[in-house]
Structure 1
Amino acid sequence: MKKGKVIKSTGKWYIIELEDGKIINAGIRGKIRLKGIKSTNPVAAGDEVMITENEDGTGMISEILPRKNYIVRKSINLSKQTHILAANVDRAYLLVTLVAPETHLAFIDRFLVAAEAYRIPVTLLFNKMDVYMDEHLPIVENVMELYEEIGYPCEKISALNKTNIDFLRDEIKDKQVMIAGHSGTGKSTLINALDNQLNIKTAEISIHHLQGQHTTTFAEMHKLQTGGYIIDTPGIRAFGVIDLDKKVMSHYFPEMRALLNQCKYHNCQHINEPHCVIKDAVENGEIESTRYKTYLDLMNEDQSQTYR
């Protein structure tokens, strides 16, 4: 038996990097599929696995080692199943673009909630600073300020021009990080910019929809020459949150978490209870109304339904 890291899942086969650096293709024993969460992909990029090597040079995954964490979203087609985006993530980077395509605040919030639930720190990368007109710049500043005040690091970058990306190489060294965002926000461009030996396919923005064309269909992990791994996830159009206990949903909003013990009722849901500190904080501007709206949407939605 050998230990390895899952570099890529293609649905039936997995590309595994063994501890000695050797890369092999491996299948999976059927029984692993039955364990734990109902997921469309029981093994994800970033997973550590035990492998039996076959004589033909392929392998068979016999065990998934315990995960430090993972991040999931609702499966697009199967309402009650989850899709694991990545496992064993030290930090997630969410690429945000205000135009072509536009990243909505609700999408950012949903991603942050999922990351909070699985204790994954997030940095927001505001990409395509090279294409913004003067009128866009105050909007970028306002959105950055909103999330920095809550405690999320924000950086302005241009993946295309390789502007302000050097800090990422230092942060990723010796880590396993994940990069996420809508299709077309520049994930593949950024990874290529961080390592000139990688040549990940990038796609043009669709003028018709001002959305990116999907180029990554399965998450794939890339090893950087400067050290560390980046998990490149497929472009996400909508982020369906699943399997989160609504009774503690407010814990996944750091600005709410800081005030929770001040509500009159210990089981306050912060919707229509009297003497609610959270609602007061929204009214006086301490908590951003857009964040509170996302909270209400998550509290009111049926997690078993598909989210688009």
Structure 2
Amino acid sequence: MAEKQFETLSAADKKEVLLMTAAQLEKETDADTQTRIIKALADNGAGAYVIPSLLKALAVNTKLTITATINDFINNAQPAEEEMAEKIAAYLNQGSSKARQAAYLALGKMSVKAKKAVPEIIDAMHKFGADADEYARGFEALAKIDPEIAVASVIKDLQNAGDEIKKNSLEKLVNIQAYMNDKLPAIKEVATALLRIIYSDDSVLKKFVEDNINTEDAAAVKAEMDKYLKTGARLAGALSKALGISMDDIFKAQDERLDGKLEKFYEEIGREYREQ
């Protein structure tokens, strides 16, 4: 009877009922009932508009046991509309890792429509990114929204973040081909950043690059690094005086280039960029 009554409702009323249904998860403690609520949402065609309600439930209900089921719902739903990006991103800087995981998933699905959430993603990666899984989820969302900005931000983390975040950012850069086309300009930026590590005094990060750069997955980055290494050998000799540049100049130019890219992106979405 209830199903028949639901079918007679207007689209707006159906949406309201489904939003109220999703909100029940904020307090529901019984695992079976939680599962039935998600099933009811899926069976009755609930759209991405219920995602903020699901994120709130993940954030506030410590007895919620269906994180994977909620993530499956988000995966199977249509991507949220652009105007929802900031609502979803609001859950990134809260204490719940479950809510952040689902928010990253939802934002990544939105692709470029989530570009206004990029500052919150980057902030959350800095706040919680000492944990490798947390950092990876943020990066994966960024890479789906704007791969060039994702790379720029992660390269900046190599220079300005804490030790654990440096290590996590380096792992993403070495394995960058798993996330994007190896023909993108970002690959050259990654090669320059990794070369900077090779030239640095950080023995831990340097060893990580040396141990991981000779894999098939890093082939395109390694090829670009080899080009720069040949340039570096020339710059270390007599040509450095003739050309008037050094490898430090190349690294400084990259800093300026990436800051410019990030500043322009933030300006386009109406936000102020603060150098990382």
TM > 0.5 between the two? no
Report which of the two structures shows the higher radius of gyration computed on alpha carbons: 2
More strand per residue: 1 or 2?
A: 1
RCO higher in structure (CA 8 A, sep ≥6) = 1
The alignment's TM-score, normalised by the length of structure 2, stands at 0.26
